[in-house]
Amino acid sequence: MAAVLPSAAPDAAEFTTFGSLTALVPRAIEPLGPQYLSHARRVLRGRTWSEDERIQSELNVKSVEDVDGDDEEEEEEDPAMLAHDPKEWKSQDHYAVLGLSKYRYRATDEQIRRAHRKKVLKHHPDKRAQAGNAEDDGFFKCIQKAMEVLSDPVRRRQYDSVDEAANVAAPSKKSKGNFYKLWGAAFEAEGRFSKKQPVPTIGDENSTKPEVDHFYNFFYNFDSWRTFEYLDEDVPDDSDNRDHKRHIERKNKAARQKHKTEDTARLRKMVDDCLSIDPRIKMFKEAEKKAKEQRKWEREADARKAAEEAKKAKEEAEKAAKEAEEKAKEDREQAKKAKESAKNAKKKNRRVVKGAVKDANYFVEGTASGAAIDAALSDCDAILEKIDDSALAEFVKKLTGLSDAGAIKAVFGETAGALGGSWKVVA
Amino acid sequence: MSEEQQTGDGAMTVIGVSFGNANSSISFTGSDGNVDIIANQDGDRSIPSTLAYVKEDEYHGLQAKAQLIRNSKNTVTNFRDYIGKQFSEIDPTYSHRSAHPVENAGKVGYQLDVLPEEGAEPKFFSVEEVAQIHLRRLRESAEDFLGKPVTGAVLTVPTDFTQKQREELKQIATEAGIPVMQIVSEPVAALLAYDSVTYGAFPKDRIVVVADFGYTRSDAAVIAVRGGMYTVLATAHNYELGGASLDETLADHFAKEFEKKNGIDPRKESARSIAKLIAECEVTRKTLSNSNSSTISIESLAGGFDFHSTINRLRFEMLARKQFDNAVSLVEDVVKKAGLDVLDVDEVVLVGGSAQTPKILSRIEAIFPETTKVASPSGKALNPAELIARGAAVQASLIAGFEQSDIDESLQPLVANAPHLAKSVGVVTADGSFVPVLESYTAVPIRHSAVFEVPAEGGDVLVGIYEGEREIVTRKVESIKEDKDEEDDLDDEEEFSDEEDEETREKVLKPATKLAEAVVKGTKAGGKVEVVINITADLKVSVAVREVGSGAVRGELPAAEVQK
Ligand SMILES: Nc1ncnc2c1ncn2[C@@H]1O[C@H](COP(=O)(O)OP(=O)(O)OP(=O)(O)O)[C@@H](O)[C@H]1O
Ligand SMILES: [Mg+2]
| Partner residue facing B425 (CB), from A21, A32, A66 | A21
Q: Do B395 and A33 touch (CB under 8 A)?
A: yes
| Whether A67 contacts chain B with CB within 8 A | no
Q: Do A37 and B399 touch (CB under 8 A)?
A: yes
Nearest-5° Cα angle at B31, B27 to B33 = 70
Local confidence band at A83 (pLDDT 50, 70, 90 cut-offs): confident
- Helix H or strand E segment including B224: strand B218-226
Q: Do A7 and B455 touch (CB under 8 A)?
A: yes
CATH topology of domain B3-85+117-178: Nucleotidyltransferase; domain 5 (3.30.420)
Alpha helices in B25-115 (DSSP H): 62-70
Q: Do A49 and B231 touch (CB under 8 A)?
A: no
Q: What confidence score (pLDDT) does residue B7 get?
A: 39
Query: Range(s) for CATH 2.60.34.10 in chain B?
Result: 424-472+505-561
From B17, B23, B284, mutation site for ligand 1 pocket: most ligand atoms within 8 A of C-beta: B23
Between the CA of B215 and the centroid of ligand 1 the distance, in Å, is 5
Determine the atom of ligand 1 nearest the C-alpha atom of B19.
22
Q: Do B517 and A12 touch (CB under 8 A)?
A: yes
Local confidence band at A15 (pLDDT 50, 70, 90 cut-offs): very high
The strand order across the sheet containing B528-535 reads: B446-453, B528-535, B541-547, B552-557
Give the C-alpha separation, B229 to B226, whole Å. Answer: 5
Strand A25-30 relative to strand A15-17, pairing: unpaired
Between the CA of B285 and the centroid of ligand 1 the distance, in Å, is 11
| Whether A50 contacts chain B with CB within 8 A | yes
Q: Do A28 and B416 touch (CB under 8 A)?
A: yes
Percent of chain A with pLDDT over 90: 37
Give the C-alpha separation, B398 to A37, whole Å. Answer: 9
Query: Range(s) for CATH 3.90.640.10 in chain B?
Result: 243-321
State CA A27 to chain mean position distance: 30
| Whether A36 contacts chain B with CB within 8 A | yes
Between the CA of B214 and the centroid of ligand 1 the distance, in Å, is 4
Determine the atom of ligand 1 nearest the C-alpha atom of B385.
18
Q: Do A49 and B447 touch (CB under 8 A)?
A: yes
Nearest to B27 by CA among B363, B380, B312: B380
Determine the atom of ligand 1 nearest the C-alpha atom of B244.
29
Whole-model pTM: value is 0.65
Chain B residue with CA closest to A207: the answer is B554
| Whether A48 contacts chain B with CB within 8 A | yes
Alpha helices in B339-460 (DSSP H): 358-367, 387-399, 404-410, 413-416
Tell whether ligand 1 has an atom less than 6 A from the beta carbon of residue B83: no
Q: Tell me the shortest Cα–Cα distance from A56 to chain B, in angstroms.
A: 9
Amino acid letter, residue B296: I
Q: Do A31 and B461 touch (CB under 8 A)?
A: no
> Which domains can be identified in chain A, with CATH numbers?
73-165 (1.10.287.110), 167-277 (no CATH), 290-419 (1.10.8.840)
Tell whether ligand 1 has an atom less than 6 A from the beta carbon of residue B289: yes
Q: Which residue has the higher pLDDT, A173 or A265?
A: A265
| Whether B130 contacts chain A with CB within 8 A | no
Give the C-alpha separation, B201 to B184, whole Å. Answer: 18
Amino acid letter, residue B475: R
| Partner residue facing A36 (CB), from B229, B232, B435 | B229
Determine the atom of ligand 1 nearest the C-alpha atom of B49.
22
Nearest to B221 by CA among B239, B240, B234: B234
Q: Quick check: A119 and A143 in contact, CB under 8 A?
A: yes
Q: Which of residues 436-465 of B touch A (CB under 8 A)?
A: 441, 443-447, 452-455, 459-464
Tell whether ligand 1 has an atom less than 6 A from the beta carbon of residue B217: yes
Q: Which of residues 507-546 of B touch A (CB under 8 A)?
A: 513-521, 529, 534, 536-537, 539, 541, 543-544
| Partner residue facing B563 (CB), from A3, A26, A44 | A26
What stretches in chain B show pLDDT beneath 70?
1-11, 376-381, 478-501
Q: What confidence score (pLDDT) does residue A238 get?
A: 63
> How many CB contacts within 8 angstroms connect chain A with chain B?
239
Between the CA of B216 and the centroid of ligand 2 the distance, in Å, is 8
Tell whether ligand 1 has an atom less than 6 A from the beta carbon of residue B286: yes
Determine the atom of ligand 1 nearest the C-alpha atom of B351.
18
| Partner residue facing B562 (CB), from A26, A28, A31 | A26
Q: Do B417 and A16 touch (CB under 8 A)?
A: no
Between the CA of B219 and the centroid of ligand 2 the distance, in Å, is 8
Q: What confidence score (pLDDT) does residue B20 get?
A: 97
Q: Quick check: B93 and B217 in contact, CB under 8 A?
A: no
Chain B residues close to A2, C-beta within 8 Å: 452-453
Nearest to B190 by CA among B311, B326, B16: B16
| Whether B367 contacts chain A with CB within 8 A | no
B387 to A66, B29, B77, B195, B330: CA distances (angstroms)? 35, 13, 22, 10, 20
| Whether A329 contacts chain B with CB within 8 A | no
CATH topology of domain B424-472+505-561: Substrate Binding Domain Of DNAk; Chain A, domain 1 (2.60.34)
| Whether A294 contacts chain B with CB within 8 A | no
Q: Which of residues 215-234 of B touch A (CB under 8 A)?
A: 223, 227-233
Nearest to B435 by CA among B424, B446, B444: B424
Q: What confidence score (pLDDT) does residue A302 get?
A: 84
Q: Which residue has the higher pLDDT, B193 or A176?
A: B193
Alpha helices in B411-526 (DSSP H): 413-416
Q: Quick check: A15 and B551 in contact, CB under 8 A?
A: no
Q: What confidence score (pLDDT) does residue A45 get?
A: 80
Q: What confidence score (pLDDT) does residue A211 get?
A: 92
Q: Tell me the shortest Cα–Cα distance from B160 to chain A, in angstroms.
A: 14
Tell whether ligand 1 has an atom less than 6 A from the beta carbon of residue B48: no
Q: What confidence score (pLDDT) does residue A354 get?
A: 84
| Whether A134 contacts chain B with CB within 8 A | no
Q: Quick check: B421 and B231 in contact, CB under 8 A?
A: no
Chain B residues close to A40, C-beta within 8 Å: 1, 409-410, 415
Between the CA of A113 and the centroid of ligand 1 the distance, in Å, is 54
CATH topology of domain B243-321: Actin; Chain A, domain 4 (3.90.640)
Q: What confidence score (pLDDT) does residue B88 get?
A: 94
Q: Tell me the shortest Cα–Cα distance from B224 to chain A, in angstroms.
A: 10
Mean pLDDT check: name the lowest of A43-52, A54-63, B43-52.
Answer: A54-63
Local confidence band at A137 (pLDDT 50, 70, 90 cut-offs): confident
Q: Do A15 and B518 touch (CB under 8 A)?
A: yes
| Whether B385 contacts chain A with CB within 8 A | no
pLDDT in tens, A333-372: 999 999 999 889 888 888 888 888 888 888 888 887 888 8
**Is residue A58 over pLDDT 70?**
no
Chain A residues close to B454, C-beta within 8 Å: 4-5
Regarding an ipTM greater than 0.85, the answer is yes
Largest CA distance in chain A: 189
| DSSP labels, A74-90 | PPP--HHHHT--GGGGG
Q: Quick check: A230 and A162 in contact, CB under 8 A?
A: yes
Strand A15-17 relative to strand B123-126, pairing: unpaired
Q: Tell me the shortest Cα–Cα distance from B409 to chain A, in angstroms.
A: 8
| Partner residue facing A19 (CB), from B433, B515, B534 | B515
**Is residue A127 over pLDDT 80?**
no
Chain B residues close to A18, C-beta within 8 Å: 514-517
